[in-house]
Chains A and B, each alone.
Chain A
Amino acid sequence: MKRFLYELEESWKIAAAQMRSNMTRSTLTALGVIIGIIAVTLMGTAVNGIGIGFDKSMSVLGDDVLYVTQWPWKPVDDWWNYRDRKKIETEYAEKINHIIGATPNSNLIVAVPTSSLMRSIRYRGNAVDNVFTLGTTSDFTVTSTIDCKEGRFFNEIESQTGAQVVVIGYDVADALFPSESPIDKFVLINGQLFKVVGVNARQGTFLGLFSWDSMVAIPLAAFNKYFSSKNAADITANPNGAKVQSDVRVKVKDKKELTEAKDELTGIMRRVRGLPPDQKDDFSINEQQAFKSTLDPIKNTIAFAGLFITGLSLFVGAIGIMNITFVSVKERTKEIGTRKALGARRRTILLQFLIESTSLCLLGGFIGLIVAYFMCFGIGKAFPSFPIQFSFGLVVASMIVSVLTGLISGFAPAWTASRLDPVTALRYE
């Protein structure tokens, strides 16, 4: 054991001396690893960021909220079975709430109706087109975590009377009110004046997924009055020809009992729709998890493909290390012979060259990591919306990858060196 430590120490010294005396060569070889590690690390941060972006977007949906919709939140092959389903009506919410109120120990808390449409919003000279405009009730705050940067969400009275008030997303506020507070200002939505009562805190967007930043919310009564025909359940042809999308979201009491809550809601919905027992559900009940299980494979594919492609650059770096270690073995054949004559065992020689290749990789990995860190920092500054995440786990992972690269790429040459016949090696010129 002691002997092993001494040999290890000696190997480190040789590796350091070797790198010092072949500065150019070592630098160029390490460069391959540096680039490889930068690529892999950046990809790692991007993959991390994508995951966080997904989760963030998903959190808008809430993990304790069920969504009653016409279409399920997953790809379906038999789309024709869903196409002709009845639309979800906002009135269902009221009926559901009524049943919830009458059910003791209900797993559900409250149902909230939502209708949405893409609208243009203007304030004086500024206009934003295609804003996701949501009509809902004041209960909406129960189902969704909304932080107001300024002001508040509309209250129950405004909700019930269909007051012309609006809560706007961060990006909308930014576009319409670049230099003033939007609170109590009047914006035009579809030619109607709405008073801004609240501005949402910035949430950040990612890959065009759902975000509060680019939407506005108004009381459902006002929404129905101005943006849809009398019966919201119809395929509503509004003045601009866009379709109103209505859903009902239901807050669950305990998210651990989501399945029970889902069953209860299914029963309630069947009552609301008046379905006979032999008929299949003509609606879908979704939760965040369903959405997630659709997105996760995409996320994993991106991660796998990205890491594979960037891994190739690290592979090229590893080949460089292998090559230089072979050269080093060749150049120092006589030295290997001498060491063997002096009593170095195979293991000693193997260790020596493995340490050389590994320390070169580790050095490259370390430099690569520092460069990647600053690049992440730069990218974060330049594109704040891109979720890039530099974690400690990533540091550890890339160091481990560096060491493994060194060990794997150094093994073949080191093995060759350790197997050299001392007589042949000593005679080598």
Chain B
Amino acid sequence: MDGRQSVRAVGPVVIDIENITKDYVMGEEIVRALRGVTLQIRRNEYLAVMGPSGSGKSTLMNMLGCLDTPTSGRYDFNGRNVKDMDDDELAAIRNREIGFVFQTFNLLPRANALRNVELPLIYAGIDPETREERATQALNDVGLGDRIHHKPNELSGGQRQRVAIARALVNSPSIILADEPTGNLDSKTGEEIMALLEHLYQRGNTIILVTHERDIAAHARRTIHLRDGLIEMDHAGFIPELDLETAATT
């Protein structure tokens, strides 16, 4: 293993999940999307969540992102119990603690890059001057300092995702949650985005990457494999050559 693949010394626990389950009612049937997942994520980790569709990957991401609450189990975010929070408290957690990066960028089409990045700051109640200053800084950090007044349709796909990353960063969240961040990009641009995430990780950010692509997951320092609502494998680094079944038995 080279240095890049090693698990670095990490900080305190940010996400502490114990035996969480999530059931959905689909008509008559109850779908058990998560069947008891236990997971700890520490500050300054770079984690990839992998798994085939239907494995509970999206459900787990929604839980981690505080977009949804588990049916049972324990979920502490920075020591605060998230499970019993109401919608507005969850909104506050999402606003301050989590930076979302979506596959489809999810920028507001009629707002320029600066206003898009300012949005989480508005919801946090930051005054206009500080807002502009911090949003500009975040855009500089992703290399878009010269594009702050461009609207999304005046930017390339890679640039749009950079705006989205700047938006995720701007409130200095505890984690950055990237859901298939390169899914809508060509592989070259995708690599640029991955390089940017690597850079952010090196600067001390905590990154959770949800993906089904092995070479994207390969950028992470720790990988979780989900299958049928359970963690099948949780290991440091990425072992691309190993067959999953073989890895599970070793």
Contact = CB atoms under 8 A, between A and B. Distances in A.
A262 B102 CA distance: 86
B125 A2 contact: yes
Contact of A346 (B88, B96, B108): B88
Given A21-B110, A334-B106, A341 B125 contact: no
A350 to B, nearest CB: 12
Interface string B118-135: 011011111110000000
Interface in A1-15: 2-3, 6-7, 10, 13
B95 interface: yes
A144 interface: no
Contacts of A337: 106
A337 B91 CA distance: 11
Contacts of A209: none
Contact of B95 (A6, A342, A421, A423): A342
A32 to B, nearest CB: 25
B167 interface: yes
B92 interface: yes
Nearest to B120: A342
A136 to B, nearest CB: 76
A6 B65 contact: no
B87 A343 contact: no
Contact of A341 (B88, B92, B100, B127): B100
B62 interface: yes
Interface of B: 62, 65, 67-68, 87-88, 91-92, 94-96, 100, 102, 106, 108, 110-111, 115, 119-120, 122-128, 167, 171
B91 A345 contact: yes
28 contacts: A3-B123, A6-B125, A6-B126, A7-B123, A17-B110, A17-B111, A18-B110, A335-B106, A335-B108, A341-B67, A341-B94, A341-B100, A342-B120, A342-B123, A342-B167, A343-B92, A343-B95, A343-B96, A343-B120, A344-B91, A345-B91, A345-B92, A345-B123, A346-B87, A422-B67, A423-B68, A426-B67, A426-B106
Nearest to A5: B125
A10 B167 CA distance: 16
A21 B110 CA distance: 9
Contacts, number: 73
Interface of A: 2-3, 6-7, 10, 13, 17-18, 21, 334-335, 337-348, 421-423, 426
Contact of B94 (A7, A18, A343): A343
B88 A7 contact: no
A342 B128 CA distance: 17
B67 to A, nearest CB: 5
A340 B91 contact: yes
A345 B122 CA distance: 12
By DSSP majority rule, is chain A's interface helix, strand, loop, or mixed?
Answer: helix
Contacts of A340: 67, 91, 94
B91 A6 contact: no
A261 B130 CA distance: 77
B2 to A, nearest CB: 36
A341 B65 contact: yes
Contacts of B65: 341
Given A3-B125, A7-B123, A348-B123, A343 B91 contact: yes
Given A341-B106, A343-B92, 12 more contacts: A10-B119, A17-B111, A339-B123, A341-B67, A342-B100, A343-B124, A346-B91, A348-B123, A422-B68, A423-B62, A423-B68, A426-B67
A258 B171 CA distance: 77
A344 B171 CA distance: 14
Nearest to B63: A423
Contacts of A338: 102, 106, 108
Nearest to A10: B122
Nearest to A342: B120
A21 B125 CA distance: 27
A281 to B, nearest CB: 74
Most buried by B among A7, A18, A21, A343: A343
Contacts of A6: 122, 125-128
Nearest to B111: A17
Most buried by A among B65, B91, B96, B100: B91
Contact of A3 (B91, B110, B124): B124
